[in-house]
């Protein structure tokens, strides 16, 4: 029997997290429930964050966007937020089915820390920072420092992911991925790319081609060799979804296509 706790405030959720270090936090449950149903995991308790209003939706704070950890893919895929973060919106539209997009959350993607997490490359190209909190206080880490390895992150046992913070670049950007189909499948490789003319940078982040989603940055005048640089930064593996060689080839193709789109 797994105990389920349903706090109604962030303070209550953080107290439960401190009191139940072996518990798992759950919001959409699109990853965790699969593991529970397959009996790959059996935590002693679940902390359901779906009723915590502080984690819902998104807001502006000055020139920053604050994306609550329980922001769903459906919410990220449309409206004002999609206009501000088009690569994240594009990635969100490729996640699962409509039902999954209505349940799955940005915070869940961060907590799972899968190299294939579709939200991670678009957040990396925008220099996102992850806000963590516990009863001891709050801290913020660059997303690159939060992701430690396959399904490993920098969360302490008593912490929760509460938000993602970023300043929208306004750069031309896109998201692409290769998979058996556009949605309802884990990507073989994925890529978010932006042409940030304000900073004079090309910025690309890829998934499913290294132990963690990885960011590559180069000056705008190095566009011709940028695809080769992105491929060189990858370290894919052979698995049931594709070979390392195929992933490298696909990543180069995606980078060249994304460059053409963003520099047009």
Look at residue 187 and tell me if it is in a domain.
yes
C-alpha dist (Å) from residue 143 to 38, 48, 113, 201: 30, 24, 10, 19
When the pLDDT of each residue in the chain is averaged and rounded to a whole number, the result is: 92
Segments of the chain scoring below 70 in pLDDT: 32-39, 41, 181-185
With beta carbons less than 8 A apart as the criterion, state whether 18 and 158 touch. Answer: yes
pLDDT of residue 34: 64
With beta carbons less than 8 A apart as the criterion, state whether 91 and 199 touch. Answer: no
Look at residue 221 and tell me if it is in a domain.
yes
Look at residue 114 and tell me if it is in a domain.
no
d(CA 178, CA 241): 10
Look at residue 205 and tell me if it is in a domain.
yes
pLDDT of residue 100: 86
For 173, the 3-state DSSP assignment is: strand
- What is the torsion angle, in degrees rounded to the nearest 10, for the CA atoms of residue 170, residue 66, residue 178 and residue 108? 180
Look at residue 237 and tell me if it is in a domain.
yes
In a 13 Å sphere around the CA of 193, the CA atoms on its Cβ side amount to 25
Residue-range definition of the domain harbouring residue 228: 172-263
| pTM (2 d.p.) | 0.93
Q: 204 burial class (0-12, 13-18, 19+ CB within 10 angstroms)?
A: buried
Look at residue 69 and tell me if it is in a domain.
no
Q: Residue 228 is part of a domain; what is its CATH number?
A: 3.30.390.50
d(CA 13, CA 51): 10
224 CB neighbour count, 10 Å cutoff: 8
Q: How many folded domains does the chain comprise?
A: 1
* Residues in contact with 58: Cβ distance below 8 Å, sequence separation at least 6, in sequence order: 65, 66, 67, 68, 71, 75, 81
**Quick one: angle between helices 244-263 and 226-233, nearest 10?**
140
pLDDT of residue 182: 59
Look at residue 93 and tell me if it is in a domain.
no
Look at residue 257 and tell me if it is in a domain.
yes
* Residues in contact with 170: Cβ distance below 8 Å, sequence separation at least 6, in sequence order: 198
């Amino acid at each position: 029997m797994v105990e389920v706790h349903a706090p109604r405030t962030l303070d209550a959720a953080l107290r439960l997290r401190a009191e139940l270090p072996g518990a798992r936090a759950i919001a959409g449950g699109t990853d965790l429930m699969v593991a529970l149903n397959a009996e790959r995991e059996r935590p002693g308790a679940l902390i359901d964050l779906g009723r915590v209003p502080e984690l819902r939706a998104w807001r502006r704070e000055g020139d920053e966007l604050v994306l609550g950890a329980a922001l769903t893919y459906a919410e990220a895929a449309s409206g004002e937020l999609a206009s501000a973060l088009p690569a994240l919106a594009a990635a969100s539209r490729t996640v699962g089915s409509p039902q999954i997009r209505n349940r799955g959350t940005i915070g869940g993607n961060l907590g799972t820390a899968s190299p294939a997490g579709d939200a991670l490359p678009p957040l990396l190209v925008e220099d996102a920072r992850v806000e963590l909190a516990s009863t001891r206080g709050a801290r913020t880490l660059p997303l690159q420092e939060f992701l430690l390895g396959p399904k490993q992150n920098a969360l302490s046992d008593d912490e929760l992911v509460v938000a993602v913070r970023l300043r929208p670049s306004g750069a031309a950007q896109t998201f692409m991925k290769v998979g058996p189909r556009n949605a309802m499948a884990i990507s073989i490789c994925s890529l978010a790319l932006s042409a940030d003319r304000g900073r004079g940078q090309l910025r690309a982040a890829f998934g499913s081609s290294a132990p963690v989603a990885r960011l590559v940055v180069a000056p705008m005048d190095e566009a011709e060799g940028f695809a080769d640089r992105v491929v060189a930064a990858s370290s894919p593996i052979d698995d049931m979804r594709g070979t390392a060689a195929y992933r490298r080839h696909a990543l180069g193709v995606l980078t060249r296509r994304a460059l053409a789109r963003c520099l047009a």
